[in-house]
Amino acid sequence: MLGVTLSRWTMSYFAAALAALLAGEVLMTAGYGFPSAPLRAPETLVVVHVVAIGWLSLLMCGALFQFVPVLIARPLHSNTLPLPALVLLLAGLGALLAGFLQLAGTLDPAPPLLPVAAMLLAGGFALALYDLARTLWPAQPLPLPARFVAVALFFLATTVTLGMLFSFALTTGLGSRPLLAVAGAGLPLHVVAGLGGWLTLAAIGVSYRLLAMFMLAPELEGTRSRAVFWTGTAGLALTVLGGVAALSLDAALAPALIGGSVLGVVALVLYGADIVHLYRARKRRIIELNSQMAVFAFAALAAAAALAVTLIVLGRLSEQVGALVFLIAFGWLTGLGLAKLYKIVAFLTWLECYGPALGRVATPRVQDLVVEARARTWFLLYYLAVASATVALLMAHVLAFRLAAGAMTLATLAIAAELIRARRLVDVSAEIRLPAGAQRPHLLMSVPHPSP
């Protein structure tokens, strides 16, 4: 990260994202939404979007504002745009949740808030997309991790567009028959574009770089890694874009879903081989907690792929799709997000606090900001709770799911407390906590300066 400027608002995105994750977990523990309510019920949509937008999308946007410049060795186009983007996204999420509560009959249906939410969210994501795209564009030809991010941004735009279509279809109506067809049967495409195209592709791209950096492993740009990119991109394009075209033409959606799924599984198998290679080729023999816990997230991704194939073969995918989506969202994406946050928050805090003093006085190591032995218990509890919750969903046991969700909430609270402790330098020895030239970091924002 030599010469890279800290993103001013990344910590604000992380804080808002963690608050949304905890809110979603509390709702699940309380029995709000699926599986206590039907999968497409408004109450379920509240929980889904708290997690998908409030947690996962804000987390990913915050991470990309910091790490896209690392991927291409160029500064972020604007350190100003992320703040209005965050304000619009939070306002849009609030309006979206209120709109779902209108559909549930909890709030007065007038005025309809879903179109307002769609416009606010579109505005917030447009600012984020513009900032990241303007950062990536001058760096062409892009290195492989950045190409994953670029395609992920395209699928973010696709996800937002489909979401807007659903919002207007539910409230103001649509005059176009093809658009009505997409709005009526396009929910699976919205989910695939969001969880697969936007969040998973971005996570894969960033993980290639972060795993290599944090484990001192060689960068991967070989044939297999490029095959992950092309098969993953092709599978998602076939599913989402081919699916939209099929619905618009009154054709069957199944061929696009099946073809895209086959390519997606191939991409995940190749990605798994790359991850195994990174761990085996690392120069840091004793890896830190974040890399240890990321293994469980990769295992969850492999389990989700195996579960999807099994459900398709047994003809039970539609019956158990809730369990599959849960495992992807909380085992793979959330598990990887929390594991990497544990390192990223400490690393960025160390750069901000001690970067200006390096070379002049003795400073702590990054690992001095955290206590891994204490945090390990909470990560293990989180993954165990996710596995238990997934099994409970497969067995349609609502009470067991709520108990597991409660354990997830407890573990997430503890992990969030560990992040706050790292940010506030609580676990750094008092003798070296703030040497001359060091600056105490603000909890919710960073003061950008070139890293050493």
For 242, half-sphere exposure in the C-beta direction (CA atoms, 13 angstrom radius) is 17
Predicted confidence at residue 354, as pLDDT, reads: 86
Predicted confidence at residue 448, as pLDDT, reads: 65
Q: Which two tokens stand for residue 274?
A: 């790359």
Q: Taking Cα atoms as reference points, which of 273, 264, 270, 271 lies closest to residue 312?
A: 264
Predicted confidence at residue 1, as pLDDT, reads: 47
Reported as a single tens digit per residue, the pLDDT across 414-425 is 999 999 999 999
How far does CA 23 lie from the centroid of its chain?
Answer: 16
Task: Enumerate residues 6+ apart whose C-beta is below 8 A from 120.
Answer: 88, 89, 91, 92, 95
Task: Enumerate residues 6+ apart whose C-beta is below 8 A from 237.
Answer: 260
Between CA 289 and CA 147 the distance in angstroms is 28
Between CA 367 and CA 349 the distance in angstroms is 11
For residues 333 and 203, is the Cβ–Cβ distance under 8 A?
yes
Predicted confidence at residue 180, as pLDDT, reads: 85
Residues of the chain short of pLDDT 70, as ranges, are 1-4, 173-175, 448-452
Predicted confidence at residue 4, as pLDDT, reads: 58
Q: Look at phi and psi of residue 433 and say left if phi exceeds 0, alpha if psi is from -120 to 50, else beta.
A: alpha
Length of the chain: 452
pTM, whole model, 2 decimals?
0.95
Predicted confidence at residue 218, as pLDDT, reads: 85
Predicted confidence at residue 452, as pLDDT, reads: 43
Predicted confidence at residue 436, as pLDDT, reads: 78
How many CB atoms are located within 10 Å of the residue 377 CB? 11
For residues 68 and 150, is the Cβ–Cβ distance under 8 A?
no
Reported as a single tens digit per residue, the pLDDT across 117-164 is 999 999 999 999 999 999 999 999 999 999 999 999 999 999 999 999
How many CB atoms are located within 10 Å of the residue 221 CB? 11
- Which whole-number Å values give the CA distances from 28 to 20, 97, 399, in the listed order? 12, 15, 11
Between CA 72 and CA 240 the distance in angstroms is 28
